[in-house]
């Protein structure tokens, strides 16, 4: 029996139709990521259910495991049967979990269960939506498209921080209010996505588009598919590990940003939630700018390296002010610059990674992004307990300094990669002549 929201397009969409479908995919990602937000009210939840940082570290560790498992479990379905078959049910599932956060969470145990279920479903949304963005973005616009896709996790951080900063005081710091708000928004968006989302038919999805007006080309490895094939190429691992180390600082800000502003810099909880939004605000702006520049120049490597190089000095200044109680203005400037530098580095990498997967096979896009999700979540699992232990015993500063080393490692990965710095992509040249081919980067 066919389901009405499982629509397939027999022709590649162009113009406004393609942009609208990209918007739907981005919106789905944003709402799923927004539903998973907890950082803006974390200090209040920890106080109410008597949870210390080490215990919360264990909760995070468990939830990221379930998120990775969700991505791994559903990515092959997305690649074989289409993205919307997974995306739409997952959005309604996460909405239910958000309401559960407000209704049933009264202890560490209930928090653990609800967050684990939510994370598992959210992992499926990541795999499905990443595939959709690739499907509806030709290579000449791929970075800009993934910039908007990143509006999901990044925009949700800003949205959650903004709503909490604007409404917590009105609700007298009643933290459950944020999940009632998020649940209501989530249901509305899930309905919108269900009635508007669409998939490319398999014969269209398994082609490479360089631009809307260029002829499509079959992948030179079109029969390969599945998680094992994505994991069998060392370039996929190299790119995944490099960006994972770069995102060390991002994960700290995402999971513990308001808490760090409270404990390290002396801000009140509601003020910390307000200040943290500035990291995400400029990050959103530079994601788009870097994406457009990267697409126009077709120089993924150079733009990403510039962003990594800018991140280091800003992070050093930010961490050096620990314990000094800086002014609101100083913190706004530093958080904004830090988020902006992250956006410059991250956006071109997403297009770079998607194109690398596409050059291997058009059948492994969701699987490749699921592998990336698994590795980044595995990093969080391996580090969250020692991170919270170090924070509990020595403060946040030692780990914050360590994350700067992760950014430097990513810069080194870019420098020593065999991808040419100045190679531009020509939409009239066959795929085998592009940067990511076995002759250029041996497997």
> Rounded to whole angstroms, how far apart are CA atoms 396 and 319?
9
Contact 249, 403 (CB under 8 A): yes
DSSP 339-403: HHHHHHHHHHHHHHHHHHHHHH-TT-HHHHHHHHHHHHHHHHHHHHHHHHHHHHHH-SHHHHHHH
User: Encoding tokens for residue 317?
Assistant: 């200044």
Cα angle 353-356-360, degrees, rounded to a multiple of 5: 140
pLDDT band at 25 (very low <50, low <70, confident <90, very high): confident
Q: Is 178 helix (H, G, I), strand (E, B) or coil?
A: helix
Beta strands in 151-252 (DSSP E): 199-200, 207-208, 217-218
Q: How far separated are the first and last CA of the chain, in Å rounded?
A: 43
Q: What is the dihedral of CA 110, 111, 117, 123, to 10 degrees?
A: -170
pLDDT score for 429: 42
User: Encoding tokens for residue 339?
Assistant: 């988020």
Q: How many CB atoms lie within 10 A of CB 368?
A: 30
The 3-state secondary structure of 48-88 reads: HCCCCHHHHHHHHHHHHHHHHHHHHHHHHHHHHHCCHHHHH
Residue identified by tokens 């040419």 is: 420
pLDDT score for 332: 93
Per-residue pLDDT tens over the stretch 58-80? 888 888 889 888 888 888 888 88
* CATH no. for 8-433: 1.20.1250.20
Lowest mean pLDDT: which of 160-174, 237-251, 312-326, 398-412? 160-174
Query: Average pLDDT, stretch 338-351?
Result: 91
The percentage of residues in the chain with a pLDDT greater than 70, rounded to a whole number, is 88
Task: Determine whether 29 is exposed, middle or buried from the number of CB atoms within 10 Å of its CB (0-12, 13-18, 19+).
Answer: buried
| Average of per-residue pLDDT values in the chain | 82
């Amino acid at each position: 029996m066919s389901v009405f929201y499982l629509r397939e397009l027999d022709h590649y969409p162009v113009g406004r139709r393609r942009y609208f479908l990209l918007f739907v995919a981005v919106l789905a990602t944003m709402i799923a990521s927004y539903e998973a937000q907890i950082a803006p009210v974390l200090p209040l939840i920890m106080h109410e259910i008597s949870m210390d940082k080490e215990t919360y570290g264990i909760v995070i560790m468990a939830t990221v495991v379930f998120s990775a498992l969700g991505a791994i479990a559903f990515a092959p379905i997305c690649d074989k049967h289409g993205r919307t078959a997974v995306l739409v049910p997952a959005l309604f599932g996460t909405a239910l979990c958000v309401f559960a956060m407000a209704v049933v969470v009264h202890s560490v145990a209930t928090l653990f269960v609800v967050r684990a279920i939510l994370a598992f479903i959210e992992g499926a949304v990541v795999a499905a939506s990443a595939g959709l963005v690739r499907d509806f973005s030709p290579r000449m616009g791929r970075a800009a498209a993934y910039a908007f896709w990143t509006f999901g996790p990044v925009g949700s951080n800003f949205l959650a921080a903004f709503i909490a900063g604007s409404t917590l005081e009105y609700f007298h710091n009643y933290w459950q209010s944020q999940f009632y708000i998020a649940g209501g928004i989530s249901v509305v968006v899930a309905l919108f996505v269900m009635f508007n989302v669409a998939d490319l038919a398999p014969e269209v999805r398994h082609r490479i588009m360089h631009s809307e007006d260029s002829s499509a080309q079959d992948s030179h490895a079109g029969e390969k598919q599945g998680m094992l094939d994505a994991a069998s190429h060392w370039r996929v691992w190299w790119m995944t590990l490099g960006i994972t180390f770069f995102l060390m600082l991002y994960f700290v800000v995402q999971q513990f940003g308001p808490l760090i502003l409270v404990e390290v810099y002396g801000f009140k909880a509601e003020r910390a939630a307000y200040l943290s939004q500035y990291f995400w605000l400029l990050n959103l702006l530079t994601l788009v700018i870097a994406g457009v520049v990267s697409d126009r120049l077709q120089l993924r490597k150079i733009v990403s390296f510039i962003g990594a190089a800018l991140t280091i000095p800003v992070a050093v200044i930010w961490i050096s002010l620990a314990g000094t109680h800086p002014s609101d203005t100083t913190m706004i400037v530093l958080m904004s610059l830090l988020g902006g530098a992250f956006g410059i580095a991250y956006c071109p990498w997403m297009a770079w990674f998607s194109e690398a997967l596409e050059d291997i096979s058009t059948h492994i896009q969701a699987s490749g992004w699921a592998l990336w999700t698994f590795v980044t979540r595995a990093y969080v699992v391996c580090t969250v307990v020692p991170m919270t232990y170090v924070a509990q015993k020595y403060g946040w500063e030692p780990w914050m300094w360590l994350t700067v080393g992760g950014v430097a490692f990513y810069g080194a990965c870019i420098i020593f990669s065999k991808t040419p710095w100045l190679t531009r992509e020509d939409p009239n040249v066959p795929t085998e002549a592009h940067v990511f081919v076995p002759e250029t980067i041996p497997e």
